[in-house]
Structure 1
Amino acid sequence: MSPPNPNPPQIPETFGRARIVVLLASLLAALAAGTNYVTYGPQLGAKLGISHTQLNFIGLGGNVGSYVSAPIWGKIVDSRGPKSLLLSGFVLLLAGYSGIRLIYDAGLPTNNTTLSTAMLALLIACSFMTGFGGNGGMAAAINTTAKTFPDKVRGSTTGLVISGFGLSAFLFSAIAHLAFPGDTSSFLLLLSIGTSFPMLIGVAFVRPIPLHASEAHHEPFDIDHAEADAASLAPGKLLLDAGPNVYGVKLWSSIDFWIPFITLSLLSGTGLMYINNVGSMAQALYVYRDLDNYNEVDASQWQATQVSTISFLSFSGRVVIGLLSDFVKSRFDLPRSTLLVLVAFILLLSQVAAAYIENVGILWRASALLGLGYGSMFSLYATLCIEWFGLPHFSENWGYFSLSPLFGGNIFSILFGRNLDAHEQDPTEKTFSAPLSRIPPRQCLQGLPCYVDSLYLTIGACAVAMVLSVWAAWRDRKKTMEGDRDGVYRRLPEVIWEEEDGED
Structure 2
Amino acid sequence: MSPKSPQIPPTFGRARIVVLLASLLAALSAGTNYVRSYSPQLGSRLGLTHTQLNLIGLGGNVGVYISAPILGKIVDSRGPKSLLLSGFVLLLAGYSGIRLVYDAGLPENVTALSTAMFALLIACSFMTGVGGNGGLCAAINTTAKTFPDKVRGSTTGLVISGFGLSAFLFSAIAHLAFPGNTSSFLLLLSLGTSFPMLVGFIFVQPIPLPPSEAHHEYLDVDQAEADAASLAPGKQFLDIGPNIYGVKLWTSIDFWIPFISLSLLSGTGLMYINNIGSMAQALYVYSHKDRYSEVDASQWQAAQVSTISFMNFSGRVLIGLLADFIKSRLGLPRSTLLIVVASIILSSQIVAAYIENVRVLWRASALLGLGYGSMFSLYATLCIEWFGLPHFSENWGYLSLSPLFGGNIFSVAFGRNLDAHERPAESSYMPPPPGIPPRQCLDGLACYVDSLHLTIAACICALALSTWAVWRDRRKTLEIDQDGMYGRVPNVIWEEEEEES
TM-score for both structures, normalised by structure 1: 0.89
- Give the counterpart of 2:179 among 173, 178, 181: 181
The equivalent residue for 1:123 is 121
- Distance (Å, rounded) in 2 between the aligned partners of 1:403 and 1:98: 27
Is the contact made by 1:150 and 1:217 (CA closer than 8 Å) also made in structure 2? Answer: no
Greater CA deviation, 12-21 or 418-427? 418-427
Is the contact made by 1:213 and 1:495 (CA closer than 8 Å) also made in structure 2? Answer: no
- Distance (Å, rounded) in 1 between the aligned partners of 2:471 and 2:311: 28
Is the contact made by 1:166 and 1:318 (CA closer than 8 Å) also made in structure 2? Answer: yes
- Distance (Å, rounded) in 1 between the aligned partners of 2:112 and 2:450: 27
Greater CA deviation, 417-426 or 300-309? 417-426
Note closer, same or farther for the CA distance 1:427–1:271 as it changes in structure 2 (3 Å cut): same
The equivalent residue for 2:213 is 215
User: Residue deviations 1:115-161, cap 9 Å, x none?
Assistant: 44443333222221111110000000000000000001000000000
The equivalent residue for 2:453 is 456
Counterpart residue type for residue 131 of structure 2 = G
The equivalent residue for 2:234 is none
Greater CA deviation, 99-108 or 323-332? 99-108
Note closer, same or farther for the CA distance 1:252–1:431 as it changes in structure 2 (3 Å cut): closer
The equivalent residue for 1:284 is 282
Note closer, same or farther for the CA distance 1:220–1:402 as it changes in structure 2 (3 Å cut): closer
Deviation at 1:183, TM superposition (A): 2.8
- Distance (Å, rounded) in 2 between the aligned partners of 1:490 and 1:360: 54
The equivalent residue for 1:158 is 156
Note closer, same or farther for the CA distance 1:424–1:111 as it changes in structure 2 (3 Å cut): farther
The equivalent residue for 2:308 is 310
Deviation at 1:353, TM superposition (A): 1.4
Note closer, same or farther for the CA distance 1:421–1:97 as it changes in structure 2 (3 Å cut): farther
- Give the counterpart of 1:79 among 74, 77, 80: 77
Structure of higher RCO (CA pairs closer than 8 Å, 6+ residues apart): 1
1:332 equivalenced with 2:353 (yes/no): no
Is the contact made by 2:18 and 2:203 (CA closer than 8 Å) also made in structure 1? Answer: yes
Is the contact made by 1:221 and 1:492 (CA closer than 8 Å) also made in structure 2? Answer: no
- Distance (Å, rounded) in 1 between the aligned partners of 2:215 and 2:248: 23
The equivalent residue for 2:424 is 426
- Distance (Å, rounded) in 2 between the aligned partners of 1:348 and 1:222: 34
User: Residue deviations 1:6-49, cap 9 Å, x none?
Assistant: 4x321111111000000000000000011111232344344444
Deviation at 1:51, TM superposition (A): 3.8
- Distance (Å, rounded) in 2 between the aligned partners of 1:494 and 1:386: 23
- Distance (Å, rounded) in 2 between the aligned partners of 1:158 and 1:19: 13
Count of residues paired in the alignment: 479
- Distance (Å, rounded) in 1 between the aligned partners of 2:438 and 2:103: 19
Deviation at 1:323, TM superposition (A): 0.6
Is the contact made by 1:34 and 1:169 (CA closer than 8 Å) also made in structure 2? Answer: yes
1:401 equivalenced with 2:399 (yes/no): yes
- Distance (Å, rounded) in 1 between the aligned partners of 2:456 and 2:270: 14
Unaligned residue ranges in structure 1 (runs of 5+): 229-240, 498-504
- Give the counterpart of 2:2 among 1, 4, 7: 4
Equivalent positions of 1:9-408 (< 5 A) are: 9-40=6-37, 41-218=39-216, 225=223, 242-408=240-406
User: Residue deviations 1:339-361, cap 9 Å, x none?
Assistant: 00110010011111112212221
Note closer, same or farther for the CA distance 1:190–1:225 as it changes in structure 2 (3 Å cut): same
The equivalent residue for 2:442 is 445
Deviation at 1:411, TM superposition (A): 1.1
1:480 equivalenced with 2:477 (yes/no): yes
- Distance (Å, rounded) in 1 between the aligned partners of 2:179 and 2:493: 51
Is the contact made by 2:219 and 2:242 (CA closer than 8 Å) also made in structure 1? Answer: no
- Distance (Å, rounded) in 1 between the aligned partners of 2:84 and 2:144: 17
- Give the counterpart of 1:471 among 468, 474, 497: 468
Counterpart residue type for residue 199 of structure 1 = M
Counterpart residue type for residue 254 of structure 1 = S
The equivalent residue for 1:231 is none
**Secondary structure of the equivalent of 1:293?**
coil
Is the contact made by 1:46 and 1:440 (CA closer than 8 Å) also made in structure 2? Answer: no
Deviation at 1:68, TM superposition (A): 0.7
Note closer, same or farther for the CA distance 1:122–1:450 as it changes in structure 2 (3 Å cut): farther
- Distance (Å, rounded) in 2 between the aligned partners of 1:223 and 1:277: 45
Note closer, same or farther for the CA distance 1:420–1:217 as it changes in structure 2 (3 Å cut): farther
Deviation at 1:191, TM superposition (A): 1.3
Greater CA deviation, 179-188 or 468-477? 179-188
Greater CA deviation, 155-164 or 178-187? 178-187
Aligned-residue identity in percent: 80
Deviation at 1:484, TM superposition (A): 2.6
Note closer, same or farther for the CA distance 1:390–1:174 as it changes in structure 2 (3 Å cut): same
Note closer, same or farther for the CA distance 1:183–1:362 as it changes in structure 2 (3 Å cut): farther
Note closer, same or farther for the CA distance 1:360–1:181 as it changes in structure 2 (3 Å cut): farther
